Structure 1
Amino acid sequence: MAKRGGSLGRYVLLRILLTVPMVLILLTFVFVILRVAPGDPIEAAYGQKLPPAEIAKVRHNLGLDRPLIVQYGAYLGDMVHGDFGKSVVTQQSVGTLIRADFPATLELTLTAMLVAIVVGVGIGSLSGRFRDTPIDLGGRLFGIVIYAAPIFWLGMMFQLLFSVKLHIFPSGGRTAAFAQPHHITGLYLLDSVLTWNWSAFWQTLRYLALPAITLGLVIGGVLVRLVRVHMLQTLQSDYVEAARARGIPEWRVVMRHAFRNALIPVITVTGLQFAALLGGAVLTETTFTWPGLGSQLVQYLDSRDYPGVQGIITFFAILVVFVSLLIDVINAYVDPRIRY
């Protein structure tokens, strides 16, 4: 056990060291892509509102008149110090905006991930357990249809059904103006629990339900197919057959041996889908007017505020890298078959 612990420690250290060049490559990619994009961000932001002299002054203040290599060095230096730049349009720090809006995106993403896991693992397990039955057919059909559905279309259909027709859930926003909990973490559900404000909790849950279900179902469609495949493989494995031969009840064989081992690959894919959730959050937040980083990114894109776009995309990229690192470490700890 001590040897495994030491090996795990070396593996974690190696993965952390490998994260550094990955982040550097991502930062370079973001910088280059936005620099080769057509158009001038200053002229796009201000147009004819400012005389040429004022536009030149704004460009100088933002450092956009310097050589690209100097801009790149300044960009990397700012990233090291956690400075994500300054918006051209609002002249506000992008880092300040990220700190203000990211809790909303995080709350939506985590809730959607919970929905995806419950739906994907639940339906996928049943589909694998009852192979070639109507349950299996229904589960496979659900996974294909949900995964193929465009996320914005799915969101609009939910709005039409549950908001316009049935009046069960609000069509957009994060919570009612009168129900905002006392700010502690920025996660409204958690803040409501910490302050024992159950009225705010239920109001927030009502507003969160549709966007979280929309985003979670799309990822859940991926997990349904994955869990089904691994459940089938596990149920046909030698150690499951040996457990059955020893007279262990079928429900115990399924839950203790098949189900638990089938979940190991799900951990990896769930972590990888975190990036897809962030990408889906952009469309989901726009559809449901959810005030997070995704909707803010769309506003920056509309106004061609390239420094703002660069800051948010850079933040998302770094976040995905570190989530991937965390998933790799969890996998190495959970699955003894991984060599390190």
Structure 2
Amino acid sequence: MFFGNPATLMLGQDATPQAIADLSHQMGFDRPVVVQYLTWVGHALTGDLGRSYTTHQTVSEMMIRSLPVTVELAVLSILLATVVSVGLNSLTWGQRAMRTHGVAIRGMGTDIRGERARSLRARVAGVPAQTRTSQDFVPRLTR
């Protein structure tokens, strides 16, 4: 939000009060801010975003002209972020893989030792070992 009248900024410090009042009325700056905003929203919904106070071009034309540069910057930013993140992640994947591997091996070792201890305590055979590879797959799973 501007402090002061935008018409003063547009006309400069040497403008007469009558010229400022005329431009303020012409541009609608003399109306309440809420009314100005709702008028702008109504125009924006129809594609009219207004005119630039400095270049006197329509804002829509200025946006369309700058769209290719904006898209190029967005694509290059995404590519740069991807390259940097893949590069940094490739430096740390080994450490993460070793931590995961260590946790899995410890858990598997604990399971095997626990099964052996339970089978010795109960005086029963542990998990049956596979002795023949010629057996069918399903009977080996259900045994």
After TM superposition, the score normalised by the length of structure 2 is 0.58
Task: Return the structure number with greater relative CO, CA threshold 8 A, min gap 6.
Answer: 1
Distance 1:112 1:38 in 2: 36
Query: Is 1:78 the counterpart of 2:43 in the alignment?
Result: yes
Aligned residue for 2:75, secondary structure, equals helix
Describe how 1:1-340 pairs up with structure 2 within 5 A.
34=1, 37-123=2-88, 125-131=89-95, 232=96, 236=100
Cα distance in 1 for residues equivalent to 2:6 and 2:80: 39
Shift of 1:80: 1.0
Deviation string, structure 1 residues 140-169 (Cα, Å, up to 9, x no partner)? xxxxxxxxxxxxxxxxxxxxxxxxxxxxxx
Over 3 Å counting, the alpha-carbon distance change for 1:76 and 1:111 in structure 2 is same
Question: Is the Cα contact below 8 Å between 2:8 and 2:15 reproduced in 1?
Answer: no
CA contact (8 A) 1:84 1:95 kept: yes
Q: Determine which structure has more spread, i.e. the larger CA radius of gyration.
A: 2
Contact 1:42/1:88, CA 8 A, preserved across alignment: no
Alpha carbon RMSD of aligned pairs, Å?
2.8
CA distance in 2, matches of 1:48, 1:87: 19
Distance (whole Å) between structure 2 residues aligned to residue 79 and residue 91 of structure 1: 17
The count of corresponding residues between Structure 1 and Structure 2 is: 103
CA distance in 1, matches of 2:100, 2:43: 54
Distance in structure 1 (CA, Å) of the matches to 2:80 and 2:31: 47
Runs of 4+ in 1 over 4 A off after TM superposition: none
The CA distance in 1 between the partners of 2:53 and 2:10, in whole Å, is 7
- C-alpha spacing 1:62/1:119, structure 2 compared with 1 (3 Å): same
- Give the match's secondary structure for 2:43: helix
Q: Hey, which of these two has a bigger chunk of helix by percent?
A: 1
| Aligned equivalents of 1:105, 1:46: Cα separation in 2 | 32
| Separation in 1, partners of 2:26, 2:82 | 47
Identity of aligned residues (%): 32
- Gap regions ≥5 residues in structure 2: 109-143
Q: Deviation per CA, 1:38-63: give whole Å up to 9, x if none.
A: 23322223323533222222222322
CA deviation profile, 1:249-308 (whole Å, cap 9, x unmatched):
xxxxxxxxxxxxxxxxxxxxxxxxxxxxxxxxxxxxxxxxxxxxxxxxxxxxxxxxxxxx
Q: Distance in 2 between matches of 1:89 and 1:56?
A: 19
Asked if the contact 2:6–2:29 (Cα under 8 Å) also holds between the matched residues in 1, the reply is: no
Structure 1: which 5+ residue stretches go unaligned? 1-33, 132-231, 246-340
For the residues of structure 2 that align with 1:71 and 1:126, how far apart are their CA atoms?
Answer: 54
